[in-house]
Amino acid sequence: MTNSVFISGVEIYKFDIPFTKPIKVALGTFHHAPNILVRIISDDGLDGLGESSPIWSITGETQETAFQAGQALAQLWLHKNPLETAERMKDLEEFLIHNSSIKCAFDMALFDWVGKRLGIPLYALLGGIRRPLITDITLGIASPQEMASEARERIAQGFSSLKIKLGTTVEEDVARMCAIRREIGKDVILRIDANQGWDCPTAIAALRALAPFKIEYCEQPVARWNLAGLKQVQEASPIPIAADESLFDHHDAFSLASLGACDYFNIKLAKSGGIQNALKINAVAEASGIRCMLGCMFETRLALTAAAHLAAARPNIVFLDLDSAFFLAEDPILGGLIYEKETILLPDLPGLGAAIQPDYLAGLDHVTIGNTNN
C-alpha cells in the first residue's frame, strides 16, 4: 500500500432533517435538526463521510456558521495526506478555536476514510470488538401526564432505561417524576438531565426531592461555566452527577477531574470535536476513575454509528444515549447501525459502514472545495 495519497476535494452539505414533533428541554424548544454533512475525497477516489450537529445554545454554532467555517477548514486539507490523522486535526485546531461540531464532521470523515483505506470497521481501527450496545431513550419536557404516557409507550417498545428532561421548578420536576414512576413502576432505569436549568440551591433541593424516585444519575444540573457550583451540587446530592455542557474537550475533562466536580463524564462527538478528542477525554476519565456515557445531539444514524463504534472500542464508556434517530422524520442513511429495540448492532463494513442515499444527497444545498471528480 502506498502512502502517497492526498485529499483532492471536500463537499459540504446543509443536512436538514425534520423532527417528528418539537423537542423541549431546559435550553429551549427545537423543531428540526440543522446538521452539516462533510464528504472528503482523496485523489484515488476513496471518500469519507462525517456529520455535524450544531446546536447554538450548546456549541455556539448555527448551521450557517458551521457551513461557512467548514469551507475554510476544507481549504486547509487540500493536497494533504489523510492518513496523517493527528496532523490533519491539528491543522483545524490551530486554525479555528471552538466550533467543535463542524470539526467533528471533518474528524469523522477522516476516520471513515482511514477505515475504508485499511479495509476494517471503525471499531476495529480503534481497537474494539463488535458487541451489542444498549441505549436509553429521551423524554422531552411536557406535562406530567404527557411524560408518563410517553414513558409507558417507550417501555412497551422495548426500552429498559429512560432519560428524562427536567430543569424547571422543583415542584414541576418532582410532579413529572412522580407521574412517570407511578406509570412505569420502580424497576425501569431512570436518568435525568437538567440541561443547566437550575441554580445551585435549586439543584440541591431538586435532587434531594428526586432521590426517592431511584435516579441513576443527573446530567448538568447547573450552568456549564459554574464548575465550583457543579462541585457544590455533587457534594450535596444523593444522586450521582454527570458533566455534559461543562465538558467539551480533554482540557475540560482534566479540570473537572481535578476538582472532583462530577461522578461521570458525558462525551458527545459534536462537543468534543470528534473521535480523536473523545478518545482523549476517555483517557482522562480512565486515569481519574471516572466512567463515561456517550451522548448525542440531533444526529442521524451516520454520526450515531460513529459514536457506537467508539463505544464498542472503549469499555470505560458504560452508558449510552444514542437515540436521536428515533426523533427524526427522515432516515436518509444506507447501512449504519441497526436498532433492535434498545439494542444497537454495529455494521461490520470498512470505516463507518454507513452512506447517504444518493438521490437524497443530490437535493441538498452544498459547496465543493477542490476537485471531487476523481
Q: What is the pLDDT of residue 280?
A: 98
- Domains defined for the chain, CATH in brackets: 7-119+358-370 (3.30.390.10), 124-354 (3.20.20.120)
Confidence of residue 3 (pLDDT cuts 50, 70, 90): low
Give CA separation, 347 vs 49, 54, 120, 262, 306, in Å: 15, 26, 11, 34, 11
Q: What is the pLDDT of residue 2?
A: 47
Q: What is the pLDDT of residue 151?
A: 98
pLDDT at residue 1 greater than cutoff 50: no
What percent of the chain is modeled with pLDDT above 90? 93
- The grid coordinates of residue 251 equal 482540557
DSSP line for 166-224? --S-HHHHHHHHHHHHHHH-SSSEEEEE-TT-S-HHHHHHHHHHHGGG-EEEEE--S-T
Q: pLDDT per residue over 119-144, tens digit each? A: 999 999 999 999 889 999 999 999 99
Q: How far is CA 364 from the centre of its chain?
A: 23
Q: What is the pLDDT of residue 132?
A: 85
Mean pLDDT of 219-246: 98
What is the model's pTM? 0.96
Active site residues: 165, 193, 219, 244, 268
CA distance 309 to 316: 13
pLDDT at residue 364 greater than cutoff 70: yes
Residue 370 and residue 74 in contact, taking contact as beta carbons nearer than 8 Å: yes
For the chain, the average pLDDT equals: 96
pLDDT at residue 277 greater than cutoff 80: yes
Q: pLDDT per residue over 39-67, tens digit each? A: 999 999 999 999 999 999 999 999 999 99
Q: What is the pLDDT of residue 180?
A: 98
Q: pLDDT per residue over 291-312, tens digit each? A: 999 999 999 999 999 999 999 9
Q: pLDDT per residue over 94-115, tens digit each? A: 999 999 999 999 999 999 999 9
Helix (H, G, I), strand (E, B) or coil at 300: coil
CA distance 273 to 104: 4
CA distance 263 to 241: 5
What percent of the chain is modeled with pLDDT above 70? 99
